[in-house]
């Protein structure tokens, strides 16, 4: 394929259909709308999904499930991914640069899958109990960002003080 063999698509050069321009045009008189009826009138517009009075498909089908408008979505990060980073302090910015989190605005929840060999300070919005335990056991520190966001699991040392 080269520049000399390039061609535009078949319909690319065709003119816009000009309706109502006389009987010789092929689309004159009724302009392709037929005789009488709702759709033949000017300014006619039916709602999306209108099926001529028949119950529309979107109303015939049953509704399923429930969408909670108050649901809080978290980006899940496991300890094994944090261990791969080999940094002393893990923040949302570090996770974003590493490609573990897609957006800087995402809330981060740290889960306890995997093991930590070195002490790491982890900043997250929410921690599972096992993740908090493993981080503190390895000599690291758990730091919750933004106070209470939906009842996070505190580090075990903090729970003992209550």
Give the pLDDT band (50/70/90) at residue 92. Answer: very high
Q: What is the pLDDT of residue 13?
A: 86
pTM of the model: 0.56
Q: What is the pLDDT of residue 147?
A: 63
pLDDT tens-place string over residues 122-137: 999 999 999 999 999 9
Any idea where the domains of the chain sit in the sequence? 74-160
Using a pLDDT cut of 90, give the percent of the chain over it: 71
Beta strand spans in the chain (E): 74-78, 89-90, 107-111, 121-124, 126-127, 141-144
Task: Determine the Cα–Cα distance for residues 100 and 30; give it in Å rounded to an integer.
Answer: 61
pLDDT average, residue stretch 3-18: 87
Task: Determine the Cα–Cα distance for residues 65 and 82; give it in Å rounded to an integer.
Answer: 35
Among 5-14, 80-89, 129-138, 143-152, the range scoring the smallest mean pLDDT is 143-152
Task: Determine the Cα–Cα distance for residues 51 and 87; give it in Å rounded to an integer.
Answer: 61
Task: Determine the Cα–Cα distance for residues 33 and 40; give it in Å rounded to an integer.
Answer: 5
pLDDT average, residue stretch 32-42: 90
Are 153 and 128 contacting, i.e. CB atoms less than 8 angstroms apart? yes
What's the whole-number average pLDDT of the chain?
88
What is the CATH number assigned to the segment(s) 74-160? 3.100.10.10
pLDDT tens-place string over residues 99-153: 999 998 999 999 999 999 999 999 999 999 999 999 999 999 999 998 654 444 5
pLDDT tens-place string over residues 39-51: 899 998 889 999 9
Give the pLDDT band (50/70/90) at residue 79. Answer: very high
Using a pLDDT cut of 70, give the percent of the chain over it: 90
**H or E element in which residue 159 lies:** helix 156-160
Q: What is the pLDDT of residue 152?
A: 47
């Amino acid at each position: 394929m080269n520049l000399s063999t390039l061609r535009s698509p078949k319909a690319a050069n065709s003119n816009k259909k000009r309706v109502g321009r006389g009987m010789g045009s092929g689309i004159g008189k009724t302009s392709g709308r037929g005789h009488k009826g709702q759709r033949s009138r000017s300014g006619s517009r039916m709602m999306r999904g209108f099926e001529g009075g028949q119950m529309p498909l979107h109303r015939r089908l049953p509704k399923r499930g429930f969408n909670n408008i108050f649901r809080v979505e978290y980006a899940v990060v496991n300890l094994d991914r944090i261990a791969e980073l080999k940094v002393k302090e893990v923040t949302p910015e570090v996770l974003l640069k590493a490609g573990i989190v897609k957006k800087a605005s995402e809330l981060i929840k740290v889960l306890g899958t995997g093991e930590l060999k070195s002490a790491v300070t982890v900043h997250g919005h929410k921690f599972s109990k096992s993740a908090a335990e493993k981080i503190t056991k390895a000599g690291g520190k758990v730091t919750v960002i933004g106070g209470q966001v939906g009842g996070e699991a505190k580090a075990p040392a903090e729970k003992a003080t209550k």
